Amino acid sequence: MRKGSGHAGAGGLIRDFNGNWLMGFTVNLGMCSVLSAELWGLLHGLRVAWDHGFRRLQVGVDNKSIVHLLERAHPSANENAILVKAIQELLARDWIVHMEHVYREANSAADFLASYSLTTPIGLHVLLSPPPAIFGLLCNDAYGIAHSRLVFVHYIYREANFAADFMASHALTLPLGLHHFATPPPGRRDLDMNMKYVNARPSMGTTIIGITYGDGIVFGSVSDKITAHRFSE
């Protein structure tokens, strides 16, 4: 979106597994909100992919709100409800689409195309070859060039994380390697209940999938954030 003007655009590209350009698109949307522009961009991108015969896609979206909106079975009644429903219907077609959140720094080529769209006429434009200015960004994305970014790290006391601490101890009773648990191991239920008294919010401390490593690393869900602990006892 061009700051101060209200004009918005979207763009994206399709790459192979090596990060090479296959095709791209831009869409100048005119006056539009940021969220609506990103939804329009996703809708047009999926349509372009479908129309050109792609049937297995991994889609990176740099706005978590988009992912959360699409996960809802029934979109909320707002200005974007029709857009969300249209995307959900497109995703339900006979193809494989895996959607994930990525940081904008890891998707700089698509971000460039979104800005580039504001220099094009109103409407959708399919790009069979990349604009010259995007070549450097394509290389950066393909080779995973590092970008600095501040990320919030949530610290908790061990006493507030009984369940994850139990999983770490439980790991030492298992063979070496990674072990997944779709249901809590014996003894976890009491610990989850214990956490409800330790923490102010009753929803904290419930882990849907517990993951333990035999070397003492445990991952668990606490306060809706993923935390990792290494212990040396």
User: Residue type for 221, please?
Assistant: S
Q: What is the pLDDT, as a whole number, of residue 223?
A: 36
Q: What is the pLDDT of residues 222-233, one digit of tens each?
A: 333 334 443 333
Q: What is the pLDDT of residues 20-32, one digit of tens each?
A: 899 999 999 999 8
Q: What is the pLDDT, as a whole number, of residue 119?
A: 93
Q: Please give the residue that has the higher pLDDT: either 111 or 187.
A: 111
Q: What is the mean pLDDT of the chain?
A: 74
Residue 120 pLDDT grade (very low, low, confident, very high; cuts 50, 70, 90) = very high
- Residue 154 in this model has a pLDDT that exceeds 90: no
Residue 164 pLDDT grade (very low, low, confident, very high; cuts 50, 70, 90) = confident
Q: What is the pLDDT of residues 40-69, one digit of tens each?
A: 999 999 999 999 999 999 998 888 889 888
Kindly state the percentage of the chain with pLDDT values over 70: 66
Please state which CATH class domain 7-143 belongs to. alpha beta
User: Residue type for 84, please?
Assistant: V
Q: How far is CA 98 from the centre of its chain?
A: 10
Q: What is the pLDDT, as a whole number, of residue 184?
A: 73
Domain spans, the chain: 7-143, 158-230
